[in-house]
């Protein structure tokens, strides 16, 4: 996930773990672009929106023995990571700030945060044409963490922003719970032109360009999917991966008692 529009199809496990992110983070996306990734000593409003018990209710099975990421994604790491982005979940009205498989226990959308890294990656996800963020021999830039950060051109800038060497030590994302959550928040809040940031889309600060309008890229959850994985999932009618993302989002919105808003899918959108 968090890949380019030219990436090849990822494994089903990769899609399953990261479906929750674009749904879950969307609930807290009322954060202006440009939030500083450096730690700040202040109160994090996210903990006032998501209690420990609610966090555990959202991710009912993350610590089951069946999950490879058992005990990795802790509530403490989530809250501490949010403190590195001071305006994450702290702007706008309360309503704005809140905004598997079919036979799985508790339903298919209750199984988030079950994996730490992509299962059976199809490559090392190295874009050798990217000279700014070069790959290192023997390193894999496969999907890791809550948002399944992937590709060298994402690991490099994420590491630079968050204080770790994403190119030389990408594996830290699946070894350190705090850094793992930070990479998800970094990806969510960072603009990568021509793509807007996900949170700007959801707080109404997305101003579509002429190219966006021509590509039918309208604000809503569908555009978030386009930003994250549009090259694989958008412009396709009734795509199962997109439907799963929507299913997660609808479950989380119901838990927070907020409306999902319009434009949930990206079937009519061209990818970036």
Report pLDDT digits (tens) over 162-186.
999 999 999 999 999 999 999 999 9
Can you list the positions of beta strands (E) in 106-253?
none
Q: 125 and 170 in contact (C-beta within 8 Å)?
A: no
Predicted pLDDT at 164 = 97
Q: Is 257 a domain residue?
A: no
Cα distance between residue 3 and residue 156, in whole Å:
13
Which spans in 99-205 are helix H? 152-162, 177-189, 198-202
Q: How confident is the model at residue 161 (pLDDT cuts 50, 70, 90)?
A: very high
Quick one: what percent of the chain has pLDDT higher than 90? 41
Q: Is 188 a domain residue?
A: no
Domain with 147, as residue range(s), is 117-176
Q: Is the peptide bond before 194 cis (omega within 30 degrees of 0)?
A: yes
Q: Is 150 a domain residue?
A: yes
Quick one: what percent of the chain has pLDDT higher than 70? 74
pTM, to two decimals: 0.74
Q: Is the pLDDT of residue 108 over 80?
A: no
Say how many domains are in the chain.
1
Is residue 129 packed enough to be buried (19+ CB in 10 Å), middle (13-18) or exposed (0-12)? Answer: exposed
The CATH number of whichever domain residue 123 belongs to comes to: 3.30.20.10
Q: Is 103 a domain residue?
A: no
Local structure of residue 174 (DSSP, 8 states)? G
Q: How confident is the model at residue 60 (pLDDT cuts 50, 70, 90)?
A: confident
Q: Is 187 a domain residue?
A: no
Predicted pLDDT at 100 = 42
Contacting residues for 235 by C-beta, under 8 A, at least 6 apart? 266, 267, 268, 269, 270, 271
Mind listing the pLDDT tens digit for each residue in 182-208? 999 999 889 999 999 988 887 788 999
Q: How confident is the model at residue 38 (pLDDT cuts 50, 70, 90)?
A: very low
Q: Report which of 271, 262, 264 is spatially closest to residue 212, judged by C-alpha positions.
A: 271
Predicted pLDDT at 181 = 92
Cα distance between residue 140 and residue 152, in whole Å:
9
Q: How confident is the model at residue 89 (pLDDT cuts 50, 70, 90)?
A: low
Helix (H) or strand (E) holding 210: helix 210-214
Q: Report which of 177, 189, 176, 174 is spatially closest to residue 228, judged by C-alpha positions.
A: 189
Q: Is 127 a domain residue?
A: yes
Q: Is the pLDDT of residue 244 over 90?
A: no
Q: Is 195 a domain residue?
A: no
Q: Is the pLDDT of residue 104 over 80?
A: no
Q: Is 90 a domain residue?
A: no
Q: 147 and 248 in contact (C-beta within 8 Å)?
A: no
């Amino acid at each position: 996930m968090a890949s380019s529009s030219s990436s090849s199809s990822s494994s089903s496990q990769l899609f399953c773990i990261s479906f929750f992110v674009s749904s879950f983070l969307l609930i807290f996306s009322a954060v202006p672009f440009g939030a500083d990734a450096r730690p700040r000593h202040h109160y994090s409003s996210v903990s006032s929106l998501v209690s420990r018990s609610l966090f555990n209710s959202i991710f009912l099975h993350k610590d089951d023995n069946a999950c490879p990421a058992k005990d990795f994604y802790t509530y403490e790491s989530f809250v501490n990571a949010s403190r590195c982005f001071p305006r994450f979940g702290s702007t706008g009205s309360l309503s704005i700030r809140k905004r598997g498989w079919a036979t799985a226990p508790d339903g298919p959308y209750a199984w988030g945060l079950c994996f730490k890294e992509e299962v059976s990656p199809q490559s090392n996800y190295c874009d050798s044409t990217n000279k700014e963020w070069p790959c290192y021999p023997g390193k894999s830039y496969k999907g890791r963490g809550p948002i399944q950060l992937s590709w060298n051109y994402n690991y490099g800038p994420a590491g630079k922003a968050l204080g770790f060497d994403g190119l030389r030590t990408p594996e830290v994302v699946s070894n350190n719970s705090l850094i793992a959550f930070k990479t998800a928040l970094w990806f969510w809040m960072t603009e990568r032109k021509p793509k807007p940031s996900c949170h700007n889309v959801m707080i109404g600060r997305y101003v579509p360009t002429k190219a966006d309008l021509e590509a039918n890229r309208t604000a809503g959850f569908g555009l978030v999917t386009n930003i994250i994985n549009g090259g694989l999932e958008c412009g396709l009618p009734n795509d199962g991966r997109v439907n799963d993302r929507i299913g997660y989002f609808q479950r989380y919105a119901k838990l927070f008692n907020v409306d999902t808003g319009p434009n949930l899918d990206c079937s009519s959108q061209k990818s970036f």
